Structure 1
Amino acid sequence: MQLWHNLKKVGPLLGIVLGATLAAYSVQGFIVHAGLGGGGIGGIALILFYTLGLPIGLMTFLMNIPLFFLGWREVSRQFVIKTLIGLVIYSIALDLLKGIRPLPFEDIFLGALYGGVLGGIGSGIVFRLGGSLGGTDIIAKVIQRRFGWAMGTTMLFFNAFILLISWAFLGPKIALYSLVSMFTFSRTVDAIQGGIPAKSVTIISNNSDMLVSRIHHEVGRGATFLQGRGSFSAEEKNVIICVVSMPEIGHLKRVIREVDPHAFLIIQDASEVVGQGWAVE
């Protein structure tokens, strides 16, 4: 029990270290190798590296210091502490991994694509564990808490401003490829933040009891009954709400067709599902 308790305390910190290192690897291994820019504080650090030769990691850390005061006032102390750990590891790894070349590619698009995906995975891991890597991540976290905006979308908005600066210093071609990297990064972050991809299914059927029984036993998912009434027939009906994973949607549709071929079915994306049987924050 004591070992499990210690793992629960240390595990998130190890995850933050892993995510921060992966994010740094994506920058040095793909973004810098392709000569691309970036967004936020990291984008400014890249411009300073390309133009003045200043260390990316050191400049990233120094420029983040003022933002910690914002994070300390606006978000939880735990978030700030985890962000500080992530930022320190990220900054150190950025400079330690300088010059690394995982693949001898010359395609700028591949650098933008893989740099964005790996960076998004690394940052997304840190976000899910309650921290960030500093920069506009802190601002995005504050806005998420106040207004509920997706962090990846907010970061894309702020990073667009830095992209204009990159356009001036690095040229339009590099700036546009950098936009590909930034967009890929933000979509990857949102995907990881949203957890397991799922579908919310609304079913209106005259055989609702039998249908729910088969969903329980064959699909392995629970369901919720809502009371509904048809607008034309005025007939009372049970409305079934069920959430399933992407691989399960085909099985669910097959069960519905077998029980009630005339069932009315609505399938919607569930951007985030939290609760028993699903990944939790």
Structure 2
Amino acid sequence: MKNETKFLKKAQLKDYVLIFLGIILTAASIVYIFTPNRLAAGGAQGIALVVNHLTGINSGLLMILINGMLFITAFMILGTSFGAKTLFSSLGLSFVVFIMEKYLYYGPLTDNPMLATIFGSALMGMGVGIILNRNASIGGTSLIGKIISKFTYLDQVNCIVATDILVTLFSMVVFGIEIGLYQLLSVYLTGEIINKVIDGITYRREVMIISGKRELIMKYLINDMKKGATLLNGRGGFTGKDTEIILTILTRRDFIKLKLFIRKVDPQAFISVNIVAEVSSAATESPLVKINHS
């Protein structure tokens, strides 16, 4: 029990360290790229940027006020289901933006709008992706999406996207159509990078092999490549003969290595490949598992 508690505390500490890393990356994209180039990629940052342009109030302070009001509203409507991580990440982001703008700002990284759109989106996408991977949220439109979806039949993700687009259109009125088009591009790029970070940049390959040299390929997989594999029972549709299909999960590099070996030992082998976004370690617990399908 004591070891379990220690493990949970260590895991929790790791979560907060990674969330803080995500906050730093996201705040840097806002302070050093987006705000100087008047790019508002939705969220509380987009609202704060527009208000900052109209009033001159520090955008970090505005983000603290916006997220604070959204949290109070969300707590009243949705209850306390957000968790401490979301509170830490959203208010922490606003605070770090405030500190960077007030004490650590030395000018924009670039004043080219296209470069700002691409690299700002990459930086923000990585930061937000890391935060979401630790089961937290940066607040802003994600909270608005939660509130709207509670009272409508709309999906929460669609609510978030719709809110971001509305913020972008509002900023387009303030900053002009050209900047608005860059902002729309940034919303898209940021979303794509967030998905890449969440799913994992290095996808795995699910490889299925039908070959007359099955035992040789299995031996190479297990003994030489040190990879796990599963044998599935199948039946040829044309021949009607029973056969065994090799199923394994490999990285791109390992798949190329295996494919070259199969070409040498059995050029007639059939290979099917699917991209896999996530793999459980339990799948490779045993080096060889036979599964019978009825």
Q: Which has the larger radius of gyration?
A: 2
Alignment of 1:100-249 (within 5 A): 100-101=105-106, 104-138=109-143, 156=161, 158-195=163-200, 196-249=202-255
Does the 8 A contact of 2:33 with 2:109 survive in 1? no
Q: Deviations over 1:130-173 (max 9, x none)?
A: 21111233567898xxxxx997x985554223222222222111
Residue 73 and residue 80 in structure 1: after superposition, are their counterparts in 2 closer, same or farther (change >3 A)? Answer: farther
Pick one of 19, 24, 28 that aligns with 2:27: 24
Give the TM-score of the pair, scaled to structure 2: 0.79
Does the 8 A contact of 2:30 with 2:97 survive in 1? yes
Please list every run of at least 4 consecutive aligned residues from structure 1 whose deviation after the TM superposition is greater than 4 angstroms. Answer: 1-6, 67-77, 101-104, 138-143, 153-158
Whether 1:266 aligns to 2:269 is: no
Paired residue for 2:57? 54
Cα distance in 2 for partners of 1:207, 1:238 equals 11
Give the TM-score of the pair, scaled to structure 1: 0.83
- 1:91 is displaced (CA, Å) by 0.4
SS at match of 1:97: helix
- 1:227 is displaced (CA, Å) by 1.7
- 1:190 is displaced (CA, Å) by 0.7
Gaps of 5+ in 2: 150-154, 285-294
User: How many equivalent pairs are there?
Assistant: 271
Alignment of 1:6-17 (within 5 A): 7-17=10-20
Residue 127 and residue 97 in structure 1: after superposition, are their counterparts in 2 closer, same or farther (change >3 A)? Answer: same
Cα distance in 2 for partners of 1:200, 1:30 equals 39
- 1:55 is displaced (CA, Å) by 2.8
- 1:73 is displaced (CA, Å) by 7.6
Letter in 2 for 1:182: V
- 1:273 is displaced (CA, Å) by 2.4
Residue 104 and residue 126 in structure 1: after superposition, are their counterparts in 2 closer, same or farther (change >3 A)? Answer: closer
Residue 12 and residue 104 in structure 1: after superposition, are their counterparts in 2 closer, same or farther (change >3 A)? Answer: closer
Fraction of identical pairs, as percent: 25
Residue 239 and residue 93 in structure 1: after superposition, are their counterparts in 2 closer, same or farther (change >3 A)? Answer: same
Cα distance in 1 for partners of 2:65, 2:156 equals 27
- 1:72 is displaced (CA, Å) by 8.9
Cα distance in 2 for partners of 1:63, 1:109 equals 28
Residue 40 and residue 105 in structure 1: after superposition, are their counterparts in 2 closer, same or farther (change >3 A)? Answer: closer
Cα distance in 2 for partners of 1:192, 1:74 equals 28
- 1:255 is displaced (CA, Å) by 2.3
